[in-house]
Chain A
Amino acid sequence: MRALASDLPIRFEGVSFSVRGTAILKNISFSLLKGGPAIILGPNGSGKTTVLKLAMGLLEPTSGSIVWAGHAGGIFDRRAFVFQRPVMLRRTAGANIAYALRAAGKPATEARVTHLLDTVGLAGVRTHPARKLSGGEQQRLALAKAMARDPEILFLDEPTASLDPAATKAVEDSICRFSVCGTKIVMATHDLAQARRLAAYVLLLVNGRLVEHGPPCEFFDHPQTEEAKRFLAGELVI
């Protein structure tokens, strides 16, 4: 089925995005291809979240165009999004997964709910109120909810920004499993070490501009632009 209906590649062609006259993104062009995780790097306020929301189809560009596998709009159902601060419905963890399955038009069977909780290591908290889980558990539950859509592309907005190292590792392990199973991961982060661990492709945004993109070995070892060099040196702060 995935071979029949794909949303990849996603092409940004001269995309700009403004809010009340303030430019958030300025004329950026790039493509997200099939393959390993694409990591969007950049300091706070550089436009990473906006790129993810545009690629997901939650926002529309002010100018320029975005095409999914050559089509405007693409197939929304093939994409899923995990926000930086996960939103938990006021229900149990299992009920959150069941809701996500129903929203995706899939049967919310016991087996499917259990399987999704298992994939993120949360089978033991199925009956716990979702909003009372720890930050790391909530983020993994958000991953499981996103995976309930069986997405071809999973967008992650700094999913480990407020987590401790152990919780970060648990989330990263889940992300790696999804990637290995064929889900295209597109993740925003400002954590360089995390980008080194996960990235198959890197994009660097600075002040709404795409200043560099390419394989991680080239980006980390041979940055081409002054902004990239300064960002890697920890000197680029906005």
Chain B
Amino acid sequence: MNDANAFDLILSGDATLFAIVALSLEVTLLATFFAAVAGLPFGAFVALTRFPGRGAIIVLLNGMMGLPPVVVGLLIYLFLSRSGPLGQFGLLYTPQAMIIAQAVLITPIIAALSRQVIEDLWEEYREELTAMGVKPFGRIATLLVDARYSLVTVLLAGFGRAAAEVGTVMIVGGNIEGYTRVMTTAIALETSKGNLALAVGLGLVLISIIMAVNAAAWGLRHWSESRAG
């Protein structure tokens, strides 16, 4: 392996490498967005309501945080394949399929962690908001806003899981060059081909992106906390 080659690829702005990076970011960010849209309100709903079977829902959510990615990939594959219930849409082996798979994989993570964060905050706010006459929708909105720093960390956990994912996107995306090839699947493929320079380059970029996103979130959190508490 020649690490200098990996850096050369990054510094020279290698088109193949950066196309893969761009697609990876697009897929992961969209998957995180859709998982947040579904997971945050659901987590808040479970945190703030009491209904029969709530305990089972919480256990299920927590358990689904550890879903095996290849199993999720397989299930999504069965749904999207030509003979599956969603086969008519022709989504298999497209970036959209990869977004769906990653979103399915991380929605339980975001829902379960946000449920815990919001429930803890609700314990603190419950009497105050009740005494102020805040209605249920207003309570959810307030808790989501006031738990924003912790929820950013929750989203980062989901983003990190999605960004590092190989098995799911390999199954539903097919690792098609120039179309569905993302950083993790490319790293696996290039390693197996012996093209370690590109594999290492992609690995460095992947780690750098995750670090940069976390650093930005950390900085934003401290800046915001110093202003609003």
Which residues of A pack against B, CB within 8 Å? 56, 58, 76-77, 80-81, 83, 87-92, 95, 99-100, 103-104, 128-132, 145, 149
Q: Give B136 Cβ to nearest chain A Cβ, in Å.
A: 13
- Chain A residue nearest to B126 in the complex (CB): A87
Which residues of B pack against A, CB within 8 Å? 124-125, 127-134, 138, 142, 146, 148-149, 225-229
Known: A92-B228, A95-B228, A129-B227; 7 extra A-B contacts, CB below 8 A, are: A81-B127, A83-B128, A88-B229, A89-B125, A90-B229, A92-B229, A145-B132
Q: Give A142 Cβ to nearest chain B Cβ, in Å.
A: 9
User: A131 touches which one: B138, B148, B229 (CB < 8 A)?
Assistant: B229
Chain B residues positioned under 8 Å from A90 (CB to CB):
146, 148-149, 228-229
- Chain A residue nearest to B138 in the complex (CB): A103
Docked-complex contact A91 and B146, CB < 8 angstroms? yes
Docked-complex contact A87 and B128, CB < 8 angstroms? yes
B-side interface mostly: helix
CA distance A1 to B119 in the complex (A): 39
Docked-complex contact A100 and B228, CB < 8 angstroms? no
Docked-complex contact B229 and A132, CB < 8 angstroms? yes
Docked-complex contact A80 and B131, CB < 8 angstroms? yes
Chain A residues positioned under 8 Å from B142 (CB to CB):
89, 99
Chain A residues positioned under 8 Å from B227 (CB to CB):
92, 129
Docked-complex contact B125 and A87, CB < 8 angstroms? yes
User: A87 touches which one: B124, B133, B148 (CB < 8 A)?
Assistant: B124
Docked-complex contact A76 and B225, CB < 8 angstroms? no
CA distance A80 to B134 in the complex (A): 12
- What are 13 residue pairs bridging A and B, where the CB atoms are less than 8 Å apart in the complex? A58-B130, A76-B133, A87-B127, A87-B128, A88-B229, A90-B148, A90-B149, A103-B129, A103-B134, A103-B138, A130-B229, A132-B229, A145-B132
A-side interface mostly: mixed
User: B132 touches which one: A88, A129, A131, A149 (CB < 8 A)?
Assistant: A149
CA distance A81 to B226 in the complex (A): 28
Docked-complex contact A89 and B133, CB < 8 angstroms? no
Q: Give A97 Cβ to nearest chain B Cβ, in Å.
A: 12
Q: Give A198 Cβ to nearest chain B Cβ, in Å.
A: 21
CA distance A149 to B133 in the complex (A): 10
Q: Give A76 Cβ to nearest chain B Cβ, in Å.
A: 6
CA distance A83 to B125 in the complex (A): 11
| Chain B CB within 10 Å, residue with most, of A91, A100, A145 | A91
User: B228 touches which one: A56, A91, A99 (CB < 8 A)?
Assistant: A91
CA distance A91 to B227 in the complex (A): 8
Chain B residues positioned under 8 Å from A81 (CB to CB):
127, 131
Chain B residues positioned under 8 Å from A129 (CB to CB):
225-229
Q: Give B224 Cβ to nearest chain A Cβ, in Å.
A: 9
Given A90-B229, A92-B228, A131-B229, A103:B130 Cβ within 8 A = no
Chain B residues positioned under 8 Å from A128 (CB to CB):
229
CA distance A103 to B141 in the complex (A): 12
| Chain B CB within 10 Å, residue with most, of A56, A88, A89, A95 | A89
Chain A residues positioned under 8 Å from B146 (CB to CB):
89-91
CA distance A191 to B229 in the complex (A): 32
Q: Give A15 Cβ to nearest chain B Cβ, in Å.
A: 19
CA distance A87 to B132 in the complex (A): 12
Q: Give B119 Cβ to nearest chain A Cβ, in Å.
A: 16
What 4 A-B pairs are tightest by C-beta distance, nearest first? A129-B229, A87-B128, A81-B131, A131-B229
Q: Give B164 Cβ to nearest chain A Cβ, in Å.
A: 31
